Structure 1
Amino acid sequence: MQEIEHTWPNYRASGTGPYDKEYSAMTAYVVFTRERTTNQAELDTYARDAPGAAEGHNVSFLALYGKHEVLEGPTMEGAAVLRFPTIEEARRWYDSPAYQEASKHRHAGAEYRVFIVEGAE
């Protein structure tokens, strides 16, 4: 079987295509995947405290641990997706004292994978 290398064009660097200079401020998404719960009481505390950390931040909650189906890769217990106007705003929220205080309970209550991804909007 022939191996095919996939390379995606870097439109942002070239200044051509859908990601040219007029799209310099890109939407960002923070994605949480809960891999395994280890302490439900800690997660309950996180669920109570984390929403307050959104005050003062431009965040939209797009998905919050609803029904899901894993199509590829390891199973997960749930996922959440938050939208921010920019990666910088997402980091301001994530690094804020209020969210960092709430996240201590998430860390104590479950194994998570969390990442920020830039949108194509």
Structure 2
Amino acid sequence: MSAYVIARLRKASLHPDIAEYIERIPGTFEPYGGRFLVHVTPHEVLEGTWDEDVVMIGFPGIEEARAWWDSPAYQEIAPLRSRHIDGDIILIKGVPEGYDATKTAAALRGALEG
């Protein structure tokens, strides 16, 4: 089951460390099957407010995503970003192939009734 690292990053002033981080990060996640799905692309707010930038990296599974995050290669470059950009970063599992939300709704209805 796929997994995703999602970052909501606050706007920051440009700094050479950020350019270096962006240059180096793809090499850190590629060995784990990771790839950018979203990388600070323009977004449209449909509800609420969202002034931050979004980065989303997809991995084949949660183990690969955790291994990337904990890897010496990533940990070496992480401060290049974290010293200059505040944000929130989460790791989340995707839904399995064939996921059916109506089954989740049925389980919720059962819990409400019982």
Do they fold alike, i.e. is TM over 0.5? yes
Residues in 1 aligned to 2:59 and 2:29: alpha-carbon distance in whole angstroms:
11
SS of the aligned residue for 1:37 comes to coil
Q: Provide the TM-score with structure 2 as the length reference.
A: 0.74
Q: Provide the TM-score with structure 1 as the length reference.
A: 0.70
Residues in 1 aligned to 2:79 and 2:57: alpha-carbon distance in whole angstroms:
19
| Greater share of helix | 2
Unaligned ranges ≥5, structure 1: 1-25
Q: Is residue 43–residue 106 contact of structure 1 (8 Å, CA) maintained in 2?
A: yes
Pick aligned residue for 2:72 from 84, 94, 97 = 97
Unaligned ranges ≥5, structure 2: 97-114
- 2:28 aligned with 1:53, yes or no? yes
Equivalent residues, number = 95
Equivalent residues in 2 for 1:81-92, closer than 5 Å: 81-92=56-67
Residues in 2 aligned to 1:41 and 1:112: alpha-carbon distance in whole angstroms:
18
**Deviation (angstroms), 1:74:** 4.5
**Deviation (angstroms), 1:40:** 2.4
- 2:22 aligned with 1:40, yes or no? no
- 2:66 aligned with 1:72, yes or no? no
Residues in 1 aligned to 2:14 and 2:83: alpha-carbon distance in whole angstroms:
7
Q: Is residue 26–residue 35 contact of structure 2 (8 Å, CA) maintained in 1?
A: no
Equivalent residues in 2 for 1:98-113, closer than 5 Å: 98-113=73-88
RMSD of the TM alignment (CA)? 1.6
Residues in 2 aligned to 1:44 and 1:60: alpha-carbon distance in whole angstroms:
18
